[in-house]
Amino acid sequence: MKISHLPGEHANKRKTSIDGAETPAEQKQLKQQLSLDLGALLAPKNDYQIVIPDNEVADETADYQDDNIIEDQADIDARKHEEYLLQQKKELEKRSKVIQRNLPRPSEVNTDIFSDSGSLTDLQKAEELIKKEMIGIMQYDAVLNPVQQSNTKRGQTIISQAQKYIENYPYEDYGKENLDSASKMIADEMQIVKEGMAHGELSIDVYTTVWEECLGQILYLEPQKRYTRATLAIKKDRIEAYKRKLEQNCNHMVREARLAAKMENKLKILTGGYQTRTIQFELSTFKFLQSQEDAALTRRVSCLTEDLYRQVEREKSLQTIYLVLQELHIK
């Protein structure tokens, strides 16, 4: 911005002339002339020139470099791990409740449970569809989450059978909306059943009792490789099934006893030093108590002996007094 000013000498001259004017008329004339001179000056111009300091340019460059900083590999790995866990959680939500809750599953899938479709009622047809869906879910779980088998070759055979079943009957992957809708329908049906049977939520004790009663009505027939109701099996089959169950329980007890023995041996190895130190500490403690008892034994015996002597002397004194009193009474 450029502003013009009157020269210094001219301004001083004007000021001196006004101050030194002799008459009012002259002073007025000089003031008018000064006003005309000031009005002739150029109007001010708002001209600006912006200059950025060097330190501000450096700050902007630093900000630009901050945007291009390479992310640390640990942060990348952590983010990928979180994304992986989130994806696994989403995948697990699509799996069966057995897998989600880590419940026990049969080692083999029995596919010989379907009935002859020749003469079935609508209700029986619906049950067959439920069986088919159940077998499909079990085979799908057997492929993705196989049950641990003691025989590796047998486990591979079961997985290959499950893969063939899925190839013949593909497993359909449903979306979350369909699963939520199905869950709601099941919950509504459960509520209808509860109201129809007039019962609320079952306690764990009642559930256990019902489960044991239902389990007691089922037998596994080894020759036929299938389960059946106990009331439908003949006496011979029932006896054989109970014998097999008893053998299984005995074998289970033997395995548990062996595991307990192994755990005890490991525990002895891990805590052997501690047990030895404990025994030594107890031994030293009882030896110290024994020495204290031996030292106190003599003192205790002497104290008891003195008490006995005092009691004897007291008895003698009392007897003497008694004799004296008796003689006086006789006289």
Q: Smallest Cα–Cα separation from 219: which of 186, 242, 253?
A: 242
On whether the CB atoms of residues 81 and 36 are closer than 8 A, the answer is no
The confidence score (pLDDT) of residue 275 equals 85
Name the token pair of 86. 């989130």
Count the neighbouring beta carbons within 10 Å of the beta carbon of residue 268: 10
In this structure, what are the phi and psi dihedrals at residue 226, rounded to the nearest 5 degrees? -155, 165
Q: How far apart are CA 228 and CA 110, in angstroms?
A: 13
The confidence score (pLDDT) of residue 10 equals 46
On whether the CB atoms of residues 90 and 132 are closer than 8 A, the answer is no
The confidence score (pLDDT) of residue 13 equals 46
User: Averaged in consecutive runs of 10 residues, what is the pLDDT profile of the chain (331 residues)?
Assistant: 43 48 72 78 68 58 59 88 90 85 84 77 88 89 83 83 87 83 90 83 85 85 80 86 89 94 90 87 92 89 92 93 85 67
What single-letter DSSP state applies at residue 220?
E
Q: How far apart are CA 184 and CA 166, in angstroms?
A: 27
Domain segments of the chain as ranges: 1-63, 95-171
Provide the pairing of β-strand 226-229 with 218-221.
antiparallel
Q: One-letter amino acid identity for 259?
A: L
The confidence score (pLDDT) of residue 58 equals 53
The alpha carbon of 325 is separated from its chain's Cα centroid by a whole number of angstroms, namely: 94
Q: How far apart are CA 74 and CA 265, in angstroms?
A: 43
Q: Smallest Cα–Cα separation from 2: which of 43, 36, 59?
A: 43
The confidence score (pLDDT) of residue 238 equals 85
Q: How far apart are CA 158 and CA 105, in angstroms?
A: 13
Name the token pair of 13. 């001259």
